[in-house]
Amino acid sequence: MSGPAESADDASGDTCVVYDVGELVVGPSEDGEHPLEILEDAAFAAVDGEIVAVGSSEDVTREYPPENAETAIDADGRAVVPGFVDPHTHAVFAGDRSDEFEAKLRGKEYQEILAEGGGILRTVRAVREASDEELFENLTGHLETMLAHGTTTVEVKSGYGLETETELRQLEAIDRADATQPIDLVATFMGAHAVPEDRDVDDYVDDVVEEQLPAVAEQGVAEFCDVFCEEGVFDVDQSRRVLEAGLDHGLTPKVHAEEFVRLGGAGLAADLEAASADHLLHANADDVDALVEAGVVPVLLPGTAFGLGEDYADARAFLEAGAPVALATDFNPNCHSRSMEFVQTLGAVEMGMTPAEALLASTRNAALALGLEDGTGTLREGAPADAVVLEAPSFAHLAYRFDTTAVDAVLKAGEVVA
């Protein structure tokens, strides 16, 4: 199938067939009965990394015989699900904050550590000192772990530079990693992640709006603009200023909202029709309604609540209101979790989600939080062939297992990558 212009190492013309799948999760169900549409004794085929056929194993393999395919996987009755989408991470960083974890175990508050110049500000010092190579190597190391746990698309934020040069260096590390390893990366500019030490907050917002954002937009290295709308960080007006300036530069808003207190970030996200509002531990019923009405995806981060020993977000309130609830790792030095499998376990055990709801939240709904409308997070015709073959007969093993991994093989664009 390779066209004449393709080089020998360009495998994009290859055919891929995954067959004899006991349980094929194709995406959200359209009947509204169960969150997922699941086919039994199924298969899918992909050409050029894009799914071209989904159906019974017999039909698909008749049209696309495995013996003729460059990539053929006999799932041998096991489950196959869409590759996971992790829509909220801070995965480009340097340094180590495990001692802060110990301090938190002894009762110290996250915000107390930040107010003393630790937390985010400590990572900022480490990132400013790190070389480009170190940032890139750290990021790609984490991505390798994510891939092994079935994640095929990841959002990564800047926000540990807090000045133009280092914010750009983080975004460039993301761009370079996107081009050199299998996971698709989506970059978010988050200059408004914290207020640098000894800076007045409004002065710093001026810097983000007048210096950082124009430079980021000029380089074309980010798609979204995010802000930590939180007591003691950026208030609602300051957050609005940053996000509106981002919109002027073509960056879609996202908001870290209602994490430690209810400040109004969810209302702001609704007002600006942000792609997502994230955290939401302290969101109330009005926030739920406002987000649903505005079509903002709630991104819940149970790993953060788990690591901090906080109460979890009310996933059920969002689900009952009909919101497309998404889950993410929030991987960062305060939340050292790279596994969307563990996130699904927490969604089920700690937030009362069914394994099916947790899987939908980790695939199609997570893709919605990134504005991905190309079928990412599903295994339907036309979607990218990003899939996870489990070493289990049912997708429920993703939430059920919490020891190592239920992932056997990972496909990105129809190629085996892990």
What is the binding site for ligand NIG (CB under 6 A)? 90, 119-120, 123, 228, 256, 259, 304, 330, 332-335
Q: How far apart are CA 370 and CA 101, in angstroms?
A: 30
**What is the nearest approach in angstroms of ligand NIG to the Cβ of residue 119?**
5
**What is the nearest approach in angstroms of ligand NIG to the Cβ of residue 241?**
19
C-alpha separations of 231 from 42, 66, 147, 285, 401 in Å:
51, 57, 35, 20, 37
**What is the nearest approach in angstroms of ligand NIG to the Cβ of residue 212?**
17
- How many of the other CB atoms lie within 10 Å of CB of 116? 11
**Residue whose CB is less far from ligand NIG, 136 or 306:** 306
**What is the nearest approach in angstroms of ligand NIG to the Cβ of residue 297?**
16
HSE at residue 206, side-chain half, CA atoms within 13 A, is 5
Contact 312, 338 (CB under 8 A): no
**Residue whose CB is less far from ligand NIG, 123 or 152:** 123
- Enter the DSSP assignment of 152: E
Element (H, E) at 236: helix 236-248
Amino acid at 342: F
**Residue whose CB is less far from ligand NIG, 86 or 259:** 259
SS3 content of the chain, % helix, strand, coil (to 5): 40, 25, 40
**What is the nearest approach in angstroms of ligand NIG to the Cβ of residue 380?**
31
Quick one: 71 exposed, middle or buried, by C-beta within 10 A (0-12, 13-18, 19+)?
middle
**What is the nearest approach in angstroms of ligand NIG to the Cβ of residue 228?**
5
**What is the nearest approach in angstroms of ligand NIG to the Cβ of residue 114?**
8
**Residue whose CB is less far from ligand NIG, 80 or 251:** 251
**What is the nearest approach in angstroms of ligand NIG to the Cβ of residue 144?**
21
Amino acid at 151: T
**Residue whose CB is less far from ligand NIG, 150 or 333:** 333
**Residue whose CB is less far from ligand NIG, 169 or 256:** 256
**Residue whose CB is less far from ligand NIG, 236 or 321:** 236
For the chain, report the end-to-end CA distance as a whole number of angstroms.
24
- Enter the DSSP assignment of 13: G
**Residue whose CB is less far from ligand NIG, 75 or 280:** 280
**What is the nearest approach in angstroms of ligand NIG to the Cβ of residue 261?**
12
Q: Name every residue whose Cβ is closer than 8 Å to that of residue 99 and which is 6 or more positions away in sequence.
A: none
**What is the nearest approach in angstroms of ligand NIG to the Cβ of residue 111?**
10
Contact 405, 84 (CB under 8 A): no
Strand order in the sheet with 276-279: 84-86, 151-157, 184-192, 224-228, 252-257, 276-279, 297-300, 326-327
Quick one: 337 exposed, middle or buried, by C-beta within 10 A (0-12, 13-18, 19+)?
buried
**Residue whose CB is less far from ligand NIG, 44 or 306:** 306
**Residue whose CB is less far from ligand NIG, 334 or 378:** 334
Calculate helix-pair angle for 132-148, 164-180, nearest 10 degrees.
Answer: 50
Residue nearest to ligand NIG (CB): 334
